[in-house]
Chain A
Amino acid sequence: MGKAKKNKRERTFFLITIVPLMLYLLLFVVPVFMGINYSLTNWDGLSGKYRYIGLGNYINIFTNKRTVKSLLFTGKYTILLVLIVMVLAMLLTLALTYLVSKKLRTFYRSVFFFPAVLSLVTVGLTWNQIFYRVLPAIGEILHSDLLSKNILGSPKTAIWGILLVNIWQGTSIPFIMLLAGIQNIPADIYEAAKIDGANPFQLFCKITVPYMLPVINVAFVMVLKSGITVFDYIQAMTEGGPIQSTESASVLIYQLAFSDSKAGLATAYAVILLIIIAIVSALQMKISSKFEVGQV
């Protein structure tokens, strides 16, 4: 390849990135820095006037029970969500692949995808009514004390109500991805392994999972994102209650900024969350790049 040609290639590649990079700098990076600036002030979110107070907001966050609690809640919620959704999506994928005939597979696939089509507002409002009216009625029949009340009404069980709805809707897309992934594993590999006398469990561990790692990785990132940034489900169902037991980081940031007039504190919290997220995603990228290496 001639040097001029190589140069041309490089320039074209560079030019391609300019528009997205400009947009990204303007609409994502600039707001982030505006936020960082506010996080050092006592801004109330309304007035043009504010005063720099150093790291006061940051200190406040780590000493305030409410913010620490919401960080812990977000962590717990994310871990539960990722675990349950990934396992459920995998089980559904396996069930549809090995237990169900081809015709029915299309039917189930369409049904299981359907929740993803609905808006979060629709989902939250419908489930609110189910938790208030249907589940307690079923609980009465079963004589279960736990179920005979709205599970969103108790600080002990509310997280499970929100998780249930999030899983109900949030499994669809990972499931569709895993299903697509499993269908692309060449059949002859299985045949060869079977001839070598591998049992189903070994087939799963040695062939299915390794071949699906890239798609598992993608699905994992998406579920992780929806867990860390969970907002709409909580806002539609409990608004962080009862007794502030379901305040996720996003919900608390929103409330601090818009109802408590503490925009400075809210952005400081947001910055801390961003740092945590940066660490998590760096770890995630490291791990997934390892997978990719193993793959080749």
Chain B
Amino acid sequence: MKRKLPLQIIGYILLCILVIIIIFPIWVTFVTAFKTTEESTRNFFAFPTRLYLGNFTEVMSDSHFGDYVRNSLVITLASISIIAVMIPLVSYAIARNRKQNKYYAALYVLFIMSIFAPFQVLMVPLTQLCTKLHIMNQAGVIIIYSTFALGQGVFLFCGYYKSIPIELEEAAGLDGCTVLGTFFRIVYPLAKPMTVTVIILNTLWIWNDFLLPLLILNKSASMWTLPIYQYNFKSAYTFDYNLAFASFLFSIVPMIILYAFLQKYIIEGLTAGAVKS
């Protein structure tokens, strides 16, 4: 192990520099949230001179603040609940049939196509469609998220299912389990690491998404989500960094909690199966 020492020291130094590069912008966000506009105008990066909580109280004093938090939570939780059941299930159907059945092979390709489609391509037709279908509301947004999550989700799950030994399922089938029985009793529990991964990826996306709620939920401030509220601190020629960053901190907290709870699962077995094959 001795000969590794110089390499180890260099590695540690580089890692420390990286940590600083990563922490610095987050530190700026944090510090700005605790300063007044005048303090920030004087020196944007200096430490606050006192513990100023005015930005937080002002952010919360918006008469609709409770609505924004609730809307963001409802949309994220509902979409994720659908995604966490629908995607593993449909991927299972595709993964087990696409070798022998053209329908499932076509379905796979169709879903995968949407991974790379930029949202800007679809936004005008999609808004028109939602107006016609009268789903310019939370339910509409939830259904759209669930649909747009299909591409990446199917891609990830189909890869993962390959690693789950088919013998287990066949045994269950002989024991009289139906397709759904086999799925929920055997396959779904084994796919837990991938489910967690998909939940984290989609939660980060949905919780922070700006453009879709902006286009669909603009009839009343009580329909807004947190990112729309945050962006509102930016007007055409001014930007209130202090208020905006205070509101950013509000929305980071739930994501940190989520990550703390679920990271164990991703690390434990994101690719456990894939590698075993």
User: Which residues from chain A contact B218 at a C-beta distance below 8 Å?
Assistant: none
Interface set, chain B 89-126, CB cutoff 8 A to A: 89-90, 92-94, 96-97, 103-104, 107, 109-126
Q: Is the interface of B mostly helix, strand, loop or mixed?
A: helix
In the assembled complex, how far is the CB of residue A294 from the closest CB belonging to chain B, in whole angstroms?
11
Q: Is the interface of A mostly helix, strand, loop or mixed?
A: helix
Q: Residues of B at under 8 Å CB distance from A?
A: 4, 7-8, 11-12, 14-15, 18-19, 21-26, 28-29, 44-45, 86-87, 89-90, 92-94, 96-97, 103-104, 107, 109-126, 128-129, 143-144, 146-148, 150, 152, 155-156, 159, 162, 173, 178-180, 197, 201, 204, 207-208, 210, 227, 230-231, 234, 239, 241, 244-245, 248, 251-252, 255-256, 259, 263, 266-272, 274-275, 277
Expressed in whole angstroms, the Cα–Cα distance for A273 and B120 within the complex equals 11
A249 with B231: CB separation less than 8 A: no
User: Which residues from chain B contact A34 at a C-beta distance below 8 Å?
Assistant: 125, 128-129
Mask, A94-112, CB within 8 Å of B = 1, is 0100011000000011111
User: Which residues from chain A contact B21 at a C-beta distance below 8 Å?
Assistant: 168
User: Which residues from chain A contact B244 at a C-beta distance below 8 Å?
Assistant: 125
Residue from A119, A183, A270 within 8 A of B210 (CB atoms): A119
Q: List 17 A-B contacts (CB under 8 A).
A: A100-B12, A113-B259, A114-B22, A116-B204, A118-B29, A119-B208, A119-B230, A121-B227, A121-B230, A121-B231, A122-B245, A123-B25, A130-B28, A177-B271, A180-B270, A218-B155, A231-B118
Instruction: Given A32-B122, A214-B275, verify A23-B146 contact (CB < 8 Å).
Output: yes
Expressed in whole angstroms, the Cα–Cα distance for A12 and B179 within the complex equals 7
Mask, A166-197, CB within 8 Å of B = 1, is 00100001001101110111000000000000
A99 with B11: CB separation less than 8 A: yes
A114 with B112: CB separation less than 8 A: no
Expressed in whole angstroms, the Cα–Cα distance for A38 and B126 within the complex equals 13
Expressed in whole angstroms, the Cα–Cα distance for A31 and B94 within the complex equals 24
Expressed in whole angstroms, the Cα–Cα distance for A253 and B23 within the complex equals 34
